[in-house]
């Protein structure tokens, strides 16, 4: 049976995808295909590249101050925390508040693939055409521009230009892109971390 997993957008709440992936790892269930939107696209790309949920958790936790962290833990993480702070570079071009380049580079440096074709698990990521409000699905070609587009929350991150289209957050048109997997998987796990 082919299992597909769809990881929805939801900003920081998208980090809740990691425990779901950990359960799959613990049950030794390897998805046949993954789809994602916005933060689900980022986490999905990390997982599709071959990282385990535990490795993704470690990558994320190195960049966050956690509730149970002691001062010693924070000091030990200081180099990574400073890189993360510097990644949030303001964008004064008028198209968004934050330049996503540093944030993505910080997270996605862990991925050894530069294209969809190099990923270990087939992966689809959703973006939105700013002018037509149409869904744009990426599953081939360069990986990072597609992920940048998928997480370009209007007003927060700058839109991304790909193939003469201005693209923004995929969650605008398809918050949890499970429908993309209907013909590709026998069983679909859809994870919605949005408030709606």
Q: Active-site residues: which are they?
A: 38, 169
Q: What secondary structure does DSSP assign to 145-185, as a single string?
A: HHHHHHT--TTTB--EEETTEEEEEGGGT-SS-GGGGTTT-
Contacts made by residues 100-103, CB under 8 angstroms, sequence distance 24+: 100/148, 100/151, 100/152, 100/157, 100/158, 101/148
From 165, 130, 125, 145, select the one nearest 41 (Cα to Cα). Answer: 125
């Amino acid at each position: 049976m082919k299992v597909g997993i769809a990881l929805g957008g939801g900003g920081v709440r998208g980090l809740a995808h990691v425990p779901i992936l950990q359960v799959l790892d613990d049950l030794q269930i390897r998805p046949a295909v993954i789809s994602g939107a916005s933060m689900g696209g980022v986490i999905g790309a990390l997982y599709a590249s071959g990282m385990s949920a535990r490795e993704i958790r470690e990558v994320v936790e190195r960049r966050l101050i956690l509730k149970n962290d002691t001062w010693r833990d924070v000091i030990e993480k200081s180099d990574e925390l400073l890189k993360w702070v510097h990644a949030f570079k303001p964008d004064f071009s008028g198209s968004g508040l934050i330049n996503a380049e540093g944030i993505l580079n910080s997270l996605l440096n862990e991925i050894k693939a530069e294209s969809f074709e190099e990923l270990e698990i087939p992966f689809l990521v959703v973006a939105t055409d700013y002018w037509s409000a149409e869904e744009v699905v990426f599953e081939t070609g360069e990986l990072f521009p597609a992920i940048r587009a998928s997480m370009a929350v209007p007003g927060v991150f700058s839109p991304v230009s790909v193939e003469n289209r201005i693209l923004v957050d995929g969650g605008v048109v398809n918050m949890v892109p499970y429908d993309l997997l209907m013909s590709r998987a026998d069983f679909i796990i859809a994870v919605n971390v949005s408030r709606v």
